[in-house]
Amino acid sequence: MINKVENMKIVSNKWRNFSGKVFNEPITTLIENAITREQEAGHRLKICVGSDSQAYKSHVAYATVIVVLREGKGGFMFIKNQKGITKISTKERMLKEVTMSVETAYSVCHILDKYNVELEVHADINTDPKFESNVALKEAMGYILGMGFVFKAKPYAFASSSCADKMVKSS
């Protein structure tokens, strides 16, 4: 079998917030600043990372989000969009989403450990075999758990299936 590498175009290599403010700092700095600010305000935090995609005729649009939850007090998120310039199968696309989430989670996990913040990685994959995305469930779960992260799939994967879903459609 020939391995196919998807060509990715960076729509924006910078992270932004929900209102559209673009940040020039690396995500590690953004997350550490957010954690210290929120913990100083007395909030208990959890971070959920997820990605979603939308296939179009000419490309695949991706969004990755880092959702910072304040226990009982709402939350906020950081967003990054990318564009795949080649068509790929559903399974490849689901695993690409998971890879983007795992890479993002891995880049910030040392900060979360430092501040004792829980981390979950959410996959926009349905646990019901009747749905097309289910073809990637076992591989996605194995990858995320194998990296040592907490795994959540639909219907508990709100970071990917709700937050990233809205951001991929608005890009």
Class of domain 16-169: alpha beta
Report pLDDT digits (tens) over 69-99: 999 999 999 999 999 878 789 999 999 999 9
- Position 114 confidence tier, pLDDT thresholds 50, 70, 90: very high
* Domains in the chain: boundaries: 16-169
Q: Which pTM was predicted?
A: 0.90
Torsion region of 83: left, alpha or beta (phi above 0 gives left; psi -120 to 50 gives alpha)? beta
Torsion region of 147: left, alpha or beta (phi above 0 gives left; psi -120 to 50 gives alpha)? alpha
Q: How far apart are the first and last CA of the chain?
A: 34
**What pLDDT, on a 0 to 100 scale, did the predictor assign at position 169?**
77
Tell me: pLDDT of 146 over 60: yes
Taking the mean position of all CA atoms in its chain, how far away is CA 92?
16
Percent of the chain exceeding pLDDT 90 equals: 79
pLDDT higher for 113 or 170? Answer: 113
Query: Sign of the C-alpha dihedral, residues 91, 133, 137, 8?
Result: positive
Mean pLDDT for the stretch of residues 18-23: 93
**What pLDDT, on a 0 to 100 scale, did the predictor assign at position 59?**
87
Mean pLDDT for the stretch of residues 50-70: 94
Tell me: pLDDT of 171 over 90: no
Report the candidate in 70, 17, 30 with the shortest Cα–Cα distance to residue 47: 70
